[in-house]
Structure 1
């Protein structure tokens, strides 16, 4: 089972993304956290996330409350344990500065969120094909 961590604060985007993943051809579990603090707590298995599984892939919005996606990426790069987790920035911003900075601080891919379910299903299908069929993901706990 593939573990995905979706870090997103917008309920509409969460629902659309989960719906898109429900149409998946791949056996996966999507776990959702709604801000950067929860994302780091999830990775560190703190509090309510004590039994969380290390994600195979993180989908990270940049504009989050409490701690934004850029800060999450920076914190992940400072940890040998977390910097091996592939991170796809999935955000509404198509600003060159956001794209450049995201790659500089450790994003593995940057995707601008499409509008609507049809566009999001297409993006999710492409992400699945690439990350779970073509790419060899790092093993956990190494």
Structure 2
């Protein structure tokens, strides 16, 4: 991963309204020794505003971790907006939610989510998830170039 991001660590935008899950996710990436910047927002409106401001006040994220059950604009609406907007077609979006409902999985993929993950139950499982995301999305997958 170090060769792919020589100037700065990759940025992950976490869209999560539960402060406990934000903390667990941040700690999991820190525990996994993955050198990434984790930015977080708490709802869909903040997500869209964050992405609209990329380049001006913060870097464009390399990956979006998106909860579905959000206040204001929910995760499905965020997916629909981002996938229908030519400004963000290459942004990898991983749904990270507590829902295991088949209809949520299906709708997420219909809206072009890149993956659907169910939130882990324990801190150890959060670390495993972080390590898997790092290994697959940052070490194995060839991602497109990102805007600066």
TM-score normalised by the chain length of structure 1? 0.94
Q: 1:26 aligns with which of 21, 30, 34?
A: 34
The residue aligned with 1:42 is 50
C-alpha displacement of 1:83: 2.1
Q: Please say if residues 81 and 141 of structure 1, whose CA atoms lie closer than 8 Å, have aligned partners that are also in contact.
A: no
C-alpha displacement of 1:50: 4.2
Q: 1:88 aligns with which of 58, 78, 94?
A: 94
Cα separation, 2, equivalents of 1:52 and 1:75: 21
Structure 1 unpaired stretches of 5+: none
Q: Please say if residues 61 and 69 of structure 1, whose CA atoms lie closer than 8 Å, have aligned partners that are also in contact.
A: yes
Q: Point out 4+ residue stretches in structure 1 off by more than 6 angstroms.
A: none
Q: 1:139 aligns with which of 108, 125, 145?
A: 145
The residue aligned with 1:111 is 117
Aligned residue pairs, count:
140
C-alpha displacement of 1:132: 0.4
Cα separation, 2, equivalents of 1:141 and 1:115: 35
Deviates more, 1:118-127 or 1:19-28: 19-28
1:52 aligns with 2:58: yes
TM-score normalised by the chain length of structure 2? 0.90
Deviates more, 1:16-25 or 1:83-92: 16-25
Structure 2 unpaired stretches of 5+: 1-8
C-alpha displacement of 1:25: 3.1
CA offsets per residue over residues 7-41 of structure 1, 9 Å max, x none? Answer: 00001101100000112333210000000000000
